[in-house]
Structure 1
Amino acid sequence: MSHPSKSQQRFPFRALVHVQRNYRKLPPITQTIRPIEENGSLQSPLSIINVDIKCETPQLNENNFWDKLHEHIASQTLEYNNDHGNQKTPNKIVRIFVSSTFTDFFNEREVLIKKVFPALRDEMEPAGIQIIDCDLRWGVPKDSTTEQTILTCLEELDRCFEDNGQPFFIGLVSDKYGWVPKLNELPKNIIERYRWIDEASITLMEFIHGAFRTHNPNAFFLIRKSENILSNLPDKYKDKFRDKDEFNQSQIQELKNQLPKIFPPEQIFHYDCFYNGLDSSTGRERVKIDGLHEFEEQARKFLIQAIQKWYPANFTNTSSLDTEQKQMNTFLLNKTQYFVDRPNEFSFLFKYITGDHKDLTLISPTDTTSENAQPFLALTGRSGDGKSILLGKFVLNIEEKFQNKFFLFYYFLDGAFHANASHFMLTSLKQKLDKYLEENNLISPKTGERLKITDDTFLSDAIGLLPIPLLIIVDGLDKGDIHHNRKYKEEFPFSNLNELMTDHTYIIISCETNLKLYETILNHIHYNLQLQPLTIEQL
């Protein structure tokens, strides 16, 4: 990673994730630091949060450094090697952390961001895997302090540990060692929390923290063969691709030598590429590197295999129903990652599904001839008010905290649109009910046999056998109704309300108030939750 004064700003500074990991105390990597007295007092230009003594540390040559580093790694316990993260739901978030120096790896990072990760998302979505790439090129403002810069990087890695147990880690290596902060510039909390190693660059500390210490099986190191680039590179750009400092040069060369001693061959790949002139299409002149097809293919291949090995349950042979459910769940994870807390609306939804309706306003149908069914809940609002995000977060909350309290069926048309959504939803609900009855050995009290999904009364009979409440959530039913001529009363769930609504069935439907779906809702007795636009204070 580059020095913070040289970093570029593209997006606002991201919030830091404070994760306290219970690492045990380890022996220092160098000799104990001792204070030096000058004129009878301690001299320190540092602030109170930093180390408050001037330090003298022994100079390490590269061999001594790597010997000490190997001792340091060997002393670690593999406490997280079998930990696959704190995610309890079947669908998983996979965070991919990219670590490298910045000025020399713009092209490779662009390949990862624009080609590898999009292809990976397409590959993983059917298995219920959401891919989040952690590329910190633009995450550190140029005016950041040393502490802010380091914490931004290493706490992002901590977040990867929390979600995945072992980070999915991409390390890019060439001819730059990166910025090496002085030990007396580092706050004590960083030295102790991350067991900082003297003379290590920030990039190497990312390698150590995210991969070396736990012998991370999800780490992949791509080492560029840079002869073709350096021999053709204009002189003014060579310092961006190769360190001038002799110690840094020896360190990066030794890193290449040491990687095979720490990781097996399948976690290391050497690739070639070539200089292809300068590119100013982005408004800033950059070195253009081509020939990265093999780099792209190997990175994608490794990540696919690593994710499949790490979360094998997501890749077992499943029915089309399970695949559809995983895709829907992945859609919800993506949709709700920027959820803004709405406690009042959440409370309203929970009151409805738990039968606490005394404070809810009941709206009677405008058509007095409408059937007298159990009230459902309409979540109304304008386009963009956040109906899908709210219901998506609500669904994920139910799945995580109330998994066995409700028989949950949900459908978000933005997540998996079907031309005949009504038929698909009804079929999917029947299939899910049939599977539940079979798994729980629930049989008809009338016949003493299993219900047949082909029977006309299957839906009402199956709901009657459920030992837990049925909760149906439908979002975006009015999607695609550009001509406002749909007959919603003939579509699910309205076409099946008489079968669906029992004293332990709850249905939530979202809609916009200016579309025909809302007119259909007004013809049924229901509760209404009007969603208000978010205020500036909430954003």
Structure 2
Amino acid sequence: MNQKANENVERDAQFNVKPQTPIRPYICSTLNDFQEERNFLATNIFPQLNELCNSRGTYFKPVDLRWSVLKAQKSLPANLYRQGCCLLSQQLKLCLDYVNSCFPFFICMLGQTYGDFLPDHSPFMFSKAKDLSNLSKPEQNLYVAAKNGYPWVLETPNCSLMEFEITQAAFRNQSQFQYFYFRTRTTLLKILSGEEEESLSSGAPVNEEEKLKIGRLKAKIISKGLPIRFYKDLQELGELVFKDWLFVIEKLNPVTLMIKNIE
């Protein structure tokens, strides 16, 4: 092969020229308890993963509805605020829709908080309600979701939004691209042995029923054998998330050396 042919081979050799499916993990957690983690990941980790994906013909773009809600609460114009409040009755249905659209990718962060739920809910209230205004916001969410493709939510109506999302993503479906990050401090959680997680100074007060529910949810995740990571600070969380999703990127979009045939 002459020198010109060698130059052509070198010029035509390139990495990963085939466009790939975008990676869009759904971000799941309680609404107010993980703002610091969400901001840290969005600012420091996700851009790195997206840059890596860009070099391979795709992109990394997590879907974080909680973060969007928090921003909207602060910036929504007064004339649109009422419309935003009306959308709250569809929050469960919309979240489950996005869980489905992001499947098989899912990121979940859990701490001590479980989220709002209906401890004394009775399914018979739906049959008596003549319109949504007679229902509380959580009940409206259950009603709208049940009527729009998710009737199973009425089987366990006292779950939080977070547990409904986890159920849809990980218990009603299966995927190898789902990761759960449990927040702790100096020791790992020992859910199955009955030991309690250390209190977090930044966390909201948690009542006994909420402690029981979040403990059962974590035990259920552990029992199913889902990928679980424990972290004690933002730096450790960032390293774990980057490592896990780098693996996903490498698995789905491996770098390949493609050389055109030279006659």
Quick check: 1:315 aligned with 2:254?
A: yes
SS in 1 for 2:164: helix
Q: What residue number does 1:394 align with? A: none
Give the letter for the 1:191 counterpart.
A
Give the letter for the 2:239 counterpart.
E
Residues 431-468 of structure 1, C-alpha deviation per residue, up to 9 Å, x if partnerless?
xxxx4xx5xxxxxxxxxxx8x6xxxxxxxxxxxxxxxx
170, 190, 196: which one aligns with 2:107: 170
222, 225, 232: which one aligns with 1:272: 232
Once the two structures are superposed, the pairs formed by residues 70-89 of structure 1 within 5 Å of their partners are none
What is the TM-score when the length of structure 1 is the normalising length? 0.35
C-alpha separation between the residues in 1 aligned to 2:159 and 2:185?
22
Measured after TM superposition, the shift of residue 226 of structure 1 is 4.8
SS in 2 for 1:172: strand
Once the two structures are superposed, the pairs formed by residues 270-309 of structure 1 within 5 Å of their partners are 270-273=230-233, 292-309=234-251
**RMSD over equivalenced CA pairs, Å:** 2.7
Contact 2:181–2:231 (8 Å) recurs in 1: yes
Structure 2 residues without counterparts, runs of 5 or longer: 1-17, 74-84, 127-138, 188-196
- Percent identity between the two aligned chains: 26
Quick check: 1:190 aligned with 2:177?
A: no
Contact 2:35–2:67 (8 Å) recurs in 1: no
121, 127, 147: which one aligns with 2:56: 127
Q: What residue number does 1:155 align with? A: 97
Measured after TM superposition, the shift of residue 94 of structure 1 is 1.2
Contact 1:223–1:268 (8 Å) recurs in 2: yes
C-alpha separation between the residues in 1 aligned to 2:49 and 2:241?
10
Q: What residue number does 1:77 align with? A: none
Structure 1 residues without counterparts, runs of 5 or longer: 1-88, 274-291, 322-434, 439-449, 453-539
Measured after TM superposition, the shift of residue 174 of structure 1 is 0.6
Q: Which has the higher contact order (CA 8 A, sep 6+)?
A: 2
Following superposition, which runs of at least 4 residues in structure 1 exceed 6 angstroms of deviation?
Answer: 227-230
Contact 2:29–2:108 (8 Å) recurs in 1: yes
What is the TM-score when the length of structure 2 is the normalising length? 0.67
C-alpha separation between the residues in 2 aligned to 1:232 and 1:299?
21
SS in 2 for 1:249: helix
198, 203, 216: which one aligns with 2:162: 203
Once the two structures are superposed, the pairs formed by residues 434-445 of structure 1 within 5 Å of their partners are 435=260
Structure 1 pair 145–129 and aligned structure 2 pair: CA distance change class (3 A): closer
Aligned residues: 202
C-alpha separation between the residues in 1 aligned to 2:44 and 2:209?
35
Contact 1:215–1:263 (8 Å) recurs in 2: no
C-alpha separation between the residues in 2 aligned to 1:151 and 1:136?
12
Q: What residue number does 1:502 align with? A: none
Give the letter for the 1:94 counterpart.
I
Residues 311-365 of structure 1, C-alpha deviation per residue, up to 9 Å, x if partnerless?
2xx314223x8xxxxxxxxxxxxxxxxxxxxxxxxxxxxxxxxxxxxxxxxxxxx
Structure with larger Rg: 1
Structure 1 pair 130–175 and aligned structure 2 pair: CA distance change class (3 A): same
Quick check: 1:261 aligned with 2:202?
A: no
Contact 1:175–1:226 (8 Å) recurs in 2: no
Structure 1 pair 227–177 and aligned structure 2 pair: CA distance change class (3 A): farther
Structure 1 pair 255–128 and aligned structure 2 pair: CA distance change class (3 A): same
C-alpha separation between the residues in 1 aligned to 2:146 and 2:237?
35
Contact 2:181–2:228 (8 Å) recurs in 1: yes
Give the letter for the 2:215 counterpart.
Q
C-alpha separation between the residues in 1 aligned to 2:106 and 2:157?
23
Q: What residue number does 2:80 align with? A: none
Contact 2:90–2:144 (8 Å) recurs in 1: no
Residues 467-497 of structure 1, C-alpha deviation per residue, up to 9 Å, x if partnerless?
xxxxxxxxxxxxxxxxxxxxxxxxxxxxxxx
Structure 1 pair 206–232 and aligned structure 2 pair: CA distance change class (3 A): closer
Once the two structures are superposed, the pairs formed by residues 222-241 of structure 1 within 5 Å of their partners are 222-226=181-185, 233=201, 238=203, 240=204
Once the two structures are superposed, the pairs formed by residues 20-59 of structure 1 within 5 Å of their partners are none
Quick check: 1:101 aligned with 2:22?
A: no
